[in-house]
Amino acid sequence: MAFVERVFSGVQPTGNLHLGNYLGAIVNFVKMQQTHNCIYCVVDMHAITQGVEVWGGPAELARNTREVTAAFIAAGIDAKKHIVFNQSQIAGHAELTWIFNCVARIGWLNRMTQFKEKAGKDRENASIGLYDYPVLMAADILLYRATHVPVGEDQKQHLELSRDIAQKFNNDFGDSIRGHGFADGLFFPQPEPLITGPATRVMSLRDGTKKMSKSDASDNSRINLTDDADTIAQKIRRAKTDPEPLPSEEKGLETRPEADNLVGIYAALAGISKQEVLTQFGGGQFSTFKNALVEVCVAKLAPIASEMKKLVADPGHVDSILADGANRARGIADETMRITKDIVGFIRPR
């Protein structure tokens, strides 16, 4: 069956939205609006999978949920033409997760590297929600039978799991799916990850081998979307580099993770290739390149930060955007759950 193409993706409201989230995900969210119907979700149910000391408690969760929504709108997502909502408003995310929990295998989840990284050494003490995170993610996507998912490189493995779950559901319930009018036995699509651009994995400014992340203890490791121009300048000037000048060819970046990262960030912000950046700055000192990077970064982020500020100052308006999005998302989600329940054999009122 040819599925109607639909884009879905989400961002966790865990605070400190950063340049990695922006370049790895949100920039592509904005682009996809031109060609697809898009659903962008503030995944607040994912946010509570780590300890409360990580997500900050109820007031912080609500504040961060509004801030991510504001970032979506400020970056150029059109919440009227497309759908923007927060996950917990739609019960189908949790319902479909339960069904998928019974389809996914423990062996599959045991391979998930993000769980291993986030749970760390104290795995026994991690929440079941953190372990089940990728199944909830599969449910998020497949509740809308989405076909394309723009994400950063770090989410590739979770997308593969979503594809495995979709395929196993279609196999396990093939006869029932056909019996419900899907002649080819395919109810869920296998969603495709869209991992594009020169900054699909933005690294920490303090350590070019570590992903830029909201939860890094050092604020200097990341550029937050809400940082002002002075803070951006300071962070970039202090970013770790090596003593060599920039190379003129991309090959010269291979063993230089910090240089590679900054060149990738410049390329993504300026909308050019890494090679074009090196043609312009290769052979020169880092200080010259860093000054240019500050400029392009401030030019891109300052208008977003100022629009975000305006939006979060009016929480009622942000909440109405989320409520309107949830109402429209619910129409699609309810239809998927109705058919899924019939396929599984759950009796429901007629």
Q: Nearest distance from residue 280's CB to ligand AQP, in Å?
A: 23
The verdict on 24 binding ligand AQP (CB under 6 A) reads yes
- The yes or no reply on residue 14 touching ligand AQP (CB under 6 A) is yes
Instruction: Give the pair of three-digit tokens for residue 2.
Output: 């040819």
Cα–Cα distance between 319 and 164 in angstroms, integer?
35
Q: What mask, x for binding ligand AQP by CB under 6 A, covers residues 214 to 243? A: xx----------------------------
Among 7, 11, 186, 308, binds ligand AQP (CB under 6 A): 11
* Candidate segments 134-142, 198-206, 288-296, 329-337, binder of ligand AQP by CB under 6 A: 198-206
Instruction: CB nearer to ligand AQP: give 14 or 226.
Output: 14
DSSP letter for each residue of 274-328: HHHHHHHHTTS-HHHHHHHHHHHHHHHHHHHHHHHHHHHT-HHHHHHHHHHHHHH
- The nearer residue to ligand AQP, 43 or 103, going by C-beta atoms, is 43
Please state the closest distance from residue 232 (CB atom) to ligand AQP, in A: 16
Q: Please identify, using beta-carbon distances, which residue of 170 and 224 lies nearer to ligand AQP.
A: 224
Q: Choose between 127 and 320: whose C-beta lies nearer to ligand AQP.
A: 127
**Which amino acid belongs to residue 5?**
E
Q: Is the sign of the CA dihedral 338, 339, 340, 342 positive or negative?
A: positive
49 belongs to the binding site for ligand AQP (CB under 6 A): no
Work out which of 6, 7, 8, 12 binds ligand AQP, going by CB under 6 A. Answer: 12
Residues annotated catalytic, as ranges: 118, 211, 214
Task: Write 51-55 long-range contacts (CB < 8 A, 24+).
Answer: 51/127, 54/14, 54/215, 55/14, 55/15
To ligand AQP, the closest distance from the beta carbon of 245 in angstroms equals 26
Least Å from the CB of residue 58 to ligand AQP: 18
Q: What angle do CA 124, 127, 132 make, to 5 degrees?
A: 110
**How many helical (H) and strand (E) elements, i.e. helices and strands, does the chain have?**
16, 5
**Is 212 a binder of ligand AQP (CB under 6 A)?**
yes
Nearest to 97 by CA among 151, 46, 160: 46
Question: Distance between CA atoms of 273 and 264, rounded to whole angstroms?
Answer: 8
Binding residues for ligand AQP, rule: CB under 6 A, are 11-12, 14, 20-21, 24-25, 151-152, 154-155, 200-202, 211-215
